[in-house]
Amino acid sequence: MIKFNWAELNLHSDCDLSAILVLTYALTKEYNTKLAWNAKELREKLFINNIPARLFMKGFLTSNKYGGIITKYRCKDPQSYFKNPNFLFYMCNPQAKINYLYLLSQRRMNDLDNYVLEDRVPEEYWDNLLIFRDQRKLYFSPEIALINSDHRSTNRKRRQ
């Protein structure tokens, strides 16, 4: 489970899409570990155009003399979570990933559902390739894919 706070991400990134995605990716790693060998690798991994310099200036990222971009970012006040970080690596418009992250932020830490109700979020977020709508609910496709994947691997183990 990767814990995050939507307001913190926006504050620390100055609402820059690339910065939000980099910081979100940093949350999937242990503190003080390598995110990538260099900026090019990190940009290609997340399908973004730049790594904002402000992330280095604010101390959220560092680089070491041996090469590598190191995360120093942690969430101070987690309020939401996601289980499947694979959406960060999808080759799609970064705005779709940001909107998906916003939708995930509408699910609180104690909420185990893989959806949010449509009436809890503005309609502008409903059309996103990372979710599907059914019966006034917005389902988190990557989260559901993870559950299905775990279920298949559990069934395979039982058959062996």
Mean pLDDT of 104-129: 91
Task: Please indicate, yes or no, whether residues 67 and 106 belong to a single structural domain of this protein.
Answer: no
Mean pLDDT score, 62-67: 83
Give dist(CA 137, CA 92) in Å, integer.
23
Residues 7 and 63 in one domain: yes
- Give the pLDDT confidence of 134-143 residue by residue, as tens digits: 989 999 998 8
Indicate if 60 and 115 belong to the same structural domain: no
Same-domain status, 63 and 116: no
Burial 109-127 (b: 16+ CB within 10 A, else e): eeeeebbbeeeebeeebee
Does residue 14 surpass a pLDDT of 50?
yes
More confident residue, 63 or 158: 63
The phi and psi torsions of 150 (rounded to 5 degrees) equal -65, -40
For the cut 70, the answer to whether the pLDDT of residue 147 exceeds it is no
Residue 154 binned pLDDT confidence (cut-offs 50, 70, 90) = very low
Q: Are residues 65 and 9 part of one domain?
A: yes
Q: Does some domain include residue 93?
A: no
Q: How many structural domains comprise the chain?
A: 2
Q: What is the pLDDT of residue 156?
A: 44
- Say if residue 23 is in the same domain as residue 66: yes
pLDDT in tens, 91-100: 999 999 999 9
The closest of 45, 56, 53 to 21, measured between CA atoms, is 45
Identify the DSSP state of 58: T
Dist. CA 28–CA 34, nearest whole Å: 11
Tell me the two tokens of residue 152.
């298949």
User: In this model, does residue 38 exceed pLDDT 50?
Assistant: yes
Q: Which residues pair with 71 in a beta bridge?
A: 61
Domain that holds residue 128: 99-159
Is the pLDDT confidence value at 153 over 60?
no
**Backbone angles phi and psi of 157, in degrees to 5:** -65, -40
Q: What is the pLDDT of residue 77?
A: 95
Q: Is 18 within a domain? A: yes
- CATH code of residue 32: 1.10.10
